[in-house]
Amino acid sequence: MKRFLHPTLKPLITSCLCLPLFLVAADTQKALSAPELIAALQSGGHIIYMRHGETNVTERDNHTDTFKHCDNQRNLSKSGREQLKEIGTIIEDLKIPIGNVLSSPYCRTKETAQLTFGKYSVEPDLQFSIGKNKQEASRLGKQLLAMMLNSGVEHNNHVFVGHTANLKDGLNVWPKPEGVVVVFKKRGDDIIFKGMIKPDEWTSPLQNKDSES
């Protein structure tokens, strides 16, 4: 399959990770459709990067150095919460196997992970990179790539719940809109971009049966 490489995107290499030099790969052919991606996720073995759900645009992040006070952050909207619950129900109905779920420490990402997947562990290095200095933003992007490369996804799908800029900095992919699921596949030392599922593109098995009847 034809691919291109991003030579400037390299994972964070530290003495504790001891990673060799990796490059990100992506298919130059058209991305898979939402139904194709959903079918692929049902088989497991993929990496999911989910941007947090729809937020209240009137709110702004303030003093989020401790990430403990949701009142000082931009949070999910009521419609965003309802949409995430629906997506979570569909994922469960489709029996999509979910492994580890890592979330940014922001309230909107933790709530997204809980409503969609029913579980999460906080990963500080998934915190929003916008607003950081150039060096720190670059480190967070590279660390995301390194975590993806080290994720175990043999049977389940490994999930990262985060923000926009981190994925752009780490894998040169901009996740739009809020609540979008970006699907990747590990292949050797590469991360393959497979496509995106927008929030309104999820359909339950019951909906499919109704359309066929």
Task: Pick from 25-39, 60-74, 119-133 the range whose average pLDDT is largest.
Answer: 119-133
pLDDT in tens, 70-104: 988 999 999 999 999 999 999 999 999 999 999 99
What pTM does this model have? 0.84
| C-alpha span between 166 and 142 (Å, rounded) | 9
Mean pLDDT of 162-177: 94
| CATH of the domain spanning 3-13+22-59+71-202, picked from 3.90.1200.10, 3.40.50.1240, 3.40.50.150, 3.40.50.300 | 3.40.50.1240
Q: 86 or 28: which carries more pLDDT confidence?
A: 86
Question: If 0-12 CB within 10 Å is exposed, 13-18 middle and 19+ buried, where does residue 57 land?
Answer: exposed
Mean pLDDT of 136-154: 90
Task: Pick from 23-32, 107-116, 130-139 the range whose average pLDDT is largest.
Answer: 107-116
Crossing angle of helices 134-149/164-171, nearest 10°?
A: 70
Instruction: For residue 58, list its beta bridge partners.
Output: none
The average confidence (pLDDT) of the chain is: 84
Band of residue 6 on the pLDDT scale cut at 50, 70, 90: very low
Neighbouring C-alpha atoms within 13 Å toward the C-beta of 86: 17
| C-alpha span between 162 and 103 (Å, rounded) | 6
Tokens 């034809």 belong to residue: 2
Residues whose CB is less than 8 angstroms from the CB of residue 124 and which lie 6 or more positions away in sequence, other chains included: 105
pLDDT in tens, 195-204: 999 999 999 8
* Contact call for residues 88 and 204 (beta carbons, < 8 A): no
Mean pLDDT of 28-43: 90
